Amino acid sequence: MQDRNIINGTSAVIFAPLADFYQTLWPFILVAIILIVADLRFGIEAAKKRGETIRTSRMWRRTINKLVDYICWITLAGAFGATFGDVLNIPILSAIIILIIYGIELSSCFNNYFEARGWKFRINVFKLFGQKKLEDAVEQINEKERDDGDDK
């Protein structure tokens, strides 16, 4: 009985700070999951449009790897926010990290969506910052550039 109490107490001491840390980060993790699922859906449509076979094991492996990567980045952003944001009272470093990872995933979602619809252009979300027109962030692609894409 006493061993069980020691294990329960130790578990509470270890996991309480983790639960407290991730309590403020869960909305960002939820948004990352939504973006990953959207990218998965549009990526499957784009692969079908290209005539590729969809391998379920590869699909799940890449999706889970992406989820783990984004959880790591969000954890890093939370750690920077806790370390530097509390000291400087400005969570700018956390916001920059979160915006970068969301920008990467949004670009991937848009590009897979456009390719699935047969539209021959890509959008770079990062070019939207500082641009006065949306057209400046849109890039026309030809067949060779599309074949060299990173999200196949």
Residue pLDDT, tens place only, 111-148: 889 888 888 878 777 777 766 665 665 666 665 555 55
Residue 139 to residue 85: CA distance in whole angstroms: 36
Q: Is pLDDT at 3 greater than 80 in this prediction?
A: no
In this prediction, residue 24 has a pLDDT band, given cuts at 50, 70 and 90, of: confident
Burial label for 98, CB within 10 Å (0-12, 13-18, 19+), is buried
CB proximity list for 71: less than 8 A, separation 6 or greater: 29, 32
Q: Is pLDDT at 152 greater than 50 in this prediction?
A: no
Give whichever of 16-30, 31-45, 125-139 has the largest mean pLDDT.
31-45
pTM exceeds 0.75 for this model: no
pLDDT digits (tens, 9 = 90+) for 78-120: 888 888 776 666 678 888 889 889 988 998 898 889 888 888 8
- Give the chain's length: 152
Q: What is the pLDDT of residue 90?
A: 67
Q: What is the pLDDT of residue 144?
A: 54
Q: What is the pLDDT of residue 86?
A: 66
Q: What is the pLDDT of residue 38?
A: 93
125: number of Cβ within 10 Å: 19
